[in-house]
Amino acid sequence: MNQLNTNTSVICYGEILWDVLPDGPQPGGAPLNVAYHLSKMGISTGIISRVGLDDYGQKLEKLIDSWGIGKYLLQHDNEYPTSQVLAKMSNGNEVSYEIIFPVAWDFISDSNYIKSQLHENAYFIYGSLASRNQVTRNTLYDLLESSAIKVFDINLRPPFVNKEILSHLLQKADIVKFNQSELEIAQTQFRGSYSNEADQIAFIQDRFDVREVLVTKGEFGAAYYYEDKVYRSCGTEIEVTDTIGSGDAFLAAFVANHYLKETPQIMLNRAVLMGGFVATKKGGCPEYQLNEYMNFKN
């Protein structure tokens, strides 16, 4: 562990890894992708994860340093390797994943130290994939008892889908992000099965007491349900390079603008803009200047 730092605005929890693509490995994992874009937008961001004592781990650490992401909560493992995911492209830009298990981030520990960093005004972003192993899951469950603003980025990756775990993670969330497929899976898991989106979201909000729910819809934009109101932002046609990390970029922009206390419609519009912008780039953490995103018209 590195030095104490209680001033970080956003902390991302879970998997960091290398996506092994046909043309070579790229850094990734939803928490790292989100942290990367938050840092790009000038938001003080830290990462909670675990890497092996190997070349892949060292390379990730160097990237995290160069991107200005706080690594004072990054752990090292002398038994398990840094994570790799075998990513396969199909239909031009759709991605499927083979997620290797077990790896270093399955063993994130020391929740008491981490919890000391989660002040009540911090945003704590977590996903469902990080709960696949008991060690990291127990640490996450402990952290979800903190007073931070909890953002649940659902990231369902079969076979790592468990109804009981998903229920617990939803119950602890203040903000939840689904894509349309994940929303349908949740309806099936919890026997909601309502025919339209508004009723599906109302079911999630009522059952799990979640005030804010996001639904991403790819080229069709996104919706933001805030208590009894709904905001929509339509996507438009873009030239897609790949879709890796576009949902993570969307969430990063949303959280950044939520932190800045922008209006709901502006939060959503800027998130959709960022998701579309990153889809025109290669990989989940593409190099770009902030003004490129600000001037991008999707």
Give the whole-number percent of the chain exceeding pLDDT 90.
79
User: How far apart, in whole angstroms, are the C-alpha atoms of residue 144 and residue 139?
Assistant: 9
Tokens representing residue 102 in the block:
């077990």
- Model confidence at 83, pLDDT cuts 50, 70, 90, reads very high
User: Cβ–Cβ contacts within 10 Å for residue 64, how many?
Assistant: 23
Which position has the higher pLDDT, 158 or 48?
Answer: 48
pLDDT of residue 208: 97
Domain at 10-294, CATH homologous superfamily: Ribokinase (3.40.1190.20)
191 contacts: CB under 8 Å, gap ≥ 6: none
261 backbone φψ class: left, alpha, beta (φ>0; ψ -120 to 50): left
Does residue 238 register a pLDDT over 60?
yes
User: How far apart, in whole angstroms, are the C-alpha atoms of residue 59 and residue 161?
Assistant: 30
pLDDT of residue 196: 93
Query: Whose structure tokens read 């030095």?
Result: 3
Average pLDDT of the chain to the nearest whole number: 92
User: How far apart, in whole angstroms, are the C-alpha atoms of residue 18 and residue 36?
Assistant: 14
- Model confidence at 91, pLDDT cuts 50, 70, 90, reads low
Can you say whether the dihedral through the CA atoms of 279, 63, 89, 100 is positive or negative?
negative
Cβ pair 43, 10 in contact under 8 A: yes
At 186, which amino acid appears? A
* Domain boundaries, given as residue ranges, for the chain: 10-294
pTM of the model: 0.94
Tokens representing residue 129 in the block:
């994939």
Tokens representing residue 224 in the block:
């933001």
Does residue 144 register a pLDDT over 90?
yes
Taking each continuous run of H as one helix and of E as one strand, the counts in the chain are 10, 13
